[in-house]
Amino acid sequence: MKCAPMSKSFTLLTRRAVAVLVAMQFVAAVHAEPIEIASPGNVLKVTFELKDGTPTYSVTRKGVAVINSSKLGFKLKSGESLDGGFQVASSKTQKVDTTWTQPWGEQKDIRDHHNQLRVVLEGTGESSKRMAIVFRVFDDGVGFRYLIPKQGGTDSIEITDELTQFVFPEDHRCWWIPAFESNRYEYRYTDSPLSKTDKVHTPITFETKSGLYISLHEAALTDFSSMALKRTGGTTFEAELYPWSDGVKSRGSLPMKSPWRTIQINDSPGGLIENYLILNLNEPNKLGDVSWVKPGKYVGIWWEMHLGVSSWSSGAKHGATTKNTKRYIDFAAKNGFDGVLVEGWNVGWDGDWMHGEGNFSFTKPYPDYDLNALAAYAKEKGVHLVGHHETGCGIENYDRQLDDAFALCKKLGIRAVKSGYVGFGQGINRTDANGKQQKEWHHGQYMVRHYRRVVEASAKYDVMLIAHEPIKDTGIRRTYPNMMSREGANGQEYNAWGGDKSNLPDHTTILPFTRMLAGPMDFTPGIFDVLFEKEQPDNRVRTTITKQLALYVVLYSPLQMAADLPQNYEAKPEAFQFIKDVVTDWEFTKVLNGKIGDYITIARKDRNSDAWFIGSITDENSRTLEADLSFLDAGRKYVAEIYRDGEGADWDKNPYAIVIESKPVNSTTKLQLKLAPGGGTAIRLRPETK
Ligand code: NOJ
């Protein structure tokens, strides 16, 4: 009885306190004070501030500056620009802590734990402009995006410049590839101080003297122009959007959401890889039941074209013949591969196909390729053809055929398609409303929209996608889980072609810390005949064969290719066993060690069994790395099946020396991995069976 009034007044008090709090957090307040938001563990802090009406932000990690005061905003073609003259109309915070499950991936369950700040800005005085900026602050990174509501009596917008800056406090070391060049994302990485960059693609990765690792990129790019960065002096980068042919950078209808601008921040290079900020910033699965999406491995009529053994075009050397395809189907069935990729199967490869003329048919096979019979033969053998849609950047031609092309796939049981966009720089043909030909950039908004149409069209027919010469990955696989893998960097093919663009031994020790922070890569590992002396005596792969095995674990892709010719695998059945055993869908990913451009060791747990796999690779230097197996179940016995560089192995002089051995291990074991120059180690850890 006595307690009742007490508890009533307590309740009233609490209600009042909550009301005050709500007021602080959610009610409009015009102010120019900086607004701070910290990450859940108080590791990162973002400060938003209007400086003379211009929106700015800065980021600190444990009190140390990561991004100094940097401007935000846009210049518009018409109406009031969104670059200054603002006051804060309101601000609001929100805490989020949820865990979601990837239908497939490098990590099954992903925690989304962040604090959000949404700042609504309005023009001062007579101005009626409005814009909101949303920041999501995680312990290992920050994402922010712009929300632009309807305004100025119009519901469309044309952005002529994005003003987002990233001002670094120091001249950090960084790994980057150039933007606005002809060859898309296909360049060797440069390792330089940031003051030596000009226009660069993202992801770009920085190492600070105090031991922080920072990556700039974007998330959820589905209807905007791709963002490159340009250094505008000193240690400042500014967003540089790929323009349309008329100079507008990005256009659309209002209200508009920009993609997220992302800053991943970790205190180890491996931390960047175990960082799921970009996926967290994408929208959840839009496709519903995706049980038809199946990670796996494929072989294909592919490497033989790159070696010049056969051709995509018709004629005596045509690779995609019925007979040759049956050989690959038999090989796939015998060795447990799900897919057989066939390039050059369709009419359009004869003559110059690379310049957007659009001569490809995506439904008409060459006469020596019996598509229907092969699809049936594959089915009988328990494998699937993997389709190939090289567009040659004839975008309108492909768009016209999308529905028919994917309907045909569905009819024939083709569950995955590899697409291709060989085309250069600003060389994409677009017919404008007046019937005039315009030239668009490969990464501009025109192409971003096209790629999204393809993702949606393929999903409609239950087809998975692997895109070569893609729009860079920004995590949209979360929203469209049929978007499996992409190229988007120098892949294996550069080794067949030779010349000064072929990959050096350190290339694959850079990719996991740069390009692959964006998402999976179809690198196409697994070349056993690394010298291919018969086919291309002047070119070669600059690794040992053991490193080729380790790449299956190091370079994540849900669809992995065993890229070499069947006969080269048949010649080395013991080493081939690892490619047969390795899986492509993971429950956990752990980076055991790594140094950008030098070495990396990754352990991943199979999602469908208790086995773990380890891949460890080095650059041109030999080294011994330790793999601490404490991630294994305590008290459980495992067998480590180890594929390591043999005595005297060396990418240059002795790439084929390999030792395959088994040893008992458990969670207290620390394996010493001896890697040859340009070498690697691949391990399967399976629970011991009696
Ligand atoms: C370039 C792609 O990366 C490669 O995989 C493909 O074979 C050719 N284009 C032809 O489409």
Q: Would you state the structure tokens that stand for residue 277, as one six-digit string? A: 């900020």
pLDDT computed for residue 31 by the predictor: 52
Query: Alpha helix locations (H) across 162-315?
Result: 269-273, 277-280, 303-306
Atom from ligand 1 closest to the CA of residue 306 = 7
Please tell me the residue having the least CA distance from ligand 1 atom 3. Answer: 468
Q: Which residues of the chain have pLDDT under 70?
A: 1-31
Q: Which CATH superfamily is domain 525-533+549-556+573-690 in?
A: Golgi alpha-mannosidase II (2.60.40.1180)
Alpha-carbon separation of residue 482 from 419, 460, 465, 475, 604 (angstroms): 13, 10, 6, 12, 22
Residue 598 alpha carbon to ligand 1 centre in Å:
28
Residue 182 alpha carbon to ligand 1 centre in Å:
16
Q: Would you state the structure tokens that stand for residue 537, as one six-digit string? A: 């005596």
Whether the Cβ atoms of residue 122 and residue 84 lie closer than 8 Å to each other: no
Residue 303 alpha carbon to ligand 1 centre in Å:
10
Please tell me the residue having the least CA distance from ligand 1 atom 5. Answer: 468
pLDDT computed for residue 3 by the predictor: 31
Q: Would you state the structure tokens that stand for residue 173, as one six-digit string? A: 């070391």
The reply to whether 493 belongs to the active site is yes
Which amino acid appears at position 40 of this protein?
A: P
Mutate to test the pocket of ligand 1, among 301, 306, 422 (most ligand atoms within 8 A of CB): 422
**Helix (H, G, I), strand (E, B), or coil: what is residue 267?**
coil
Residue 170 alpha carbon to ligand 1 centre in Å:
40
E-only strand ranges, 543-657 = 559-561, 586-595, 599-606, 612-618, 623-628, 638-645
Which amino acid appears at position 123 of this protein?
A: G
Residues 6+ apart with CB under 8 A from 224: 241, 250, 252, 258, 259, 445, 448
Please give the Cα distance from 233 to 519 (Å, whole number).
30
Residues 6+ apart with CB under 8 A from 654: 544, 648, 676
Please give the Cα distance from 617 to 678 (Å, whole number).
8
Atom from ligand 1 closest to the CA of residue 388 = 11
Tally of CB atoms within 10 A around 191: 15
Q: Which CATH superfamily is domain 296-488 in?
A: Aldolase class I (3.20.20.70)
Residue 558 alpha carbon to ligand 1 centre in Å:
19
Cα 557 from chain centroid (whole Å): 10
Whether the Cβ atoms of residue 612 and residue 631 lie closer than 8 Å to each other: yes
Whether the Cβ atoms of residue 588 and residue 107 lie closer than 8 Å to each other: yes
Atom from ligand 1 closest to the CA of residue 469 = 3
Residue 300 alpha carbon to ligand 1 centre in Å:
12
Atom from ligand 1 closest to the CA of residue 468 = 3
Atom from ligand 1 closest to the CA of residue 305 = 7
Please tell me the residue having the least CA distance from ligand 1 atom 7. Answer: 302
Same fold: 296-488 with 525-533+549-556+573-690:
no
Please give the Cα distance from 588 to 605 (Å, whole number).
5
Residue 17 alpha carbon to ligand 1 centre in Å:
63
Helix (H) or strand (E) holding 578: helix 573-581
Residue 586 alpha carbon to ligand 1 centre in Å:
27
Mutate to test the pocket of ligand 1, among 343, 349, 465, 497 (most ligand atoms within 8 A of CB): 343
Mutate to test the pocket of ligand 1, among 493, 557, 561 (most ligand atoms within 8 A of CB): 493
Please tell me the residue having the least CA distance from ligand 1 atom 2. Answer: 468
Please give the Cα distance from 553 to 535 (Å, whole number).
28
Whether the Cβ atoms of residue 584 and residue 485 lie closer than 8 Å to each other: no
Residues 6+ apart with CB under 8 A from 590: 274, 602, 603, 604, 631
Pick the CATH number of 33-280 from 1.20.1070.10, 2.40.10.10, 2.70.98.10, 2.40.70.10: 2.70.98.10
E-only strand ranges, 72-179 = 74-76, 86-101, 109-123, 130-138, 141-148, 156-162, 165-167, 173-176
Burial (0-12, 13-18, 19+ Cβ within 10 Å), 127 = middle
Atom from ligand 1 closest to the CA of residue 420 = 11
Residue 314 alpha carbon to ligand 1 centre in Å:
17
Q: What is the DSSP string of 37-96?
A: EE-TTS-EEEEEEEETTEEEEEEEETTEEEEEEEE--EEESSS--BSSSEEEEEEEEEEE
Mutate to test the pocket of ligand 1, among 341, 346, 390 (most ligand atoms within 8 A of CB): 390
Q: What is the DSSP string of 212-225?
A: -EEEEEEE--SSSP
- Kindly list the strands in the beta sheet with 599-606, ordered across the sheet, starting from the edge strand earlier in the chain: 586-595, 599-606, 612-618, 680-687, 638-645, 658-665
What's the count of helices (H) and strands (E) in the chain, helices before strands? 13, 38
pLDDT computed for residue 28 by the predictor: 39
Cβ < 6 Å from ligand 1: which residues? 302, 343, 390, 420, 422, 468, 487, 493
Catalytic residue chosen out of the listed positions 493, 535, 587, 647: 493
What ranges do the domains of the chain cover?
33-280, 296-488, 525-533+549-556+573-690
Residue 576 alpha carbon to ligand 1 centre in Å:
24
Please tell me the residue having the least CA distance from ligand 1 atom 6. Answer: 420
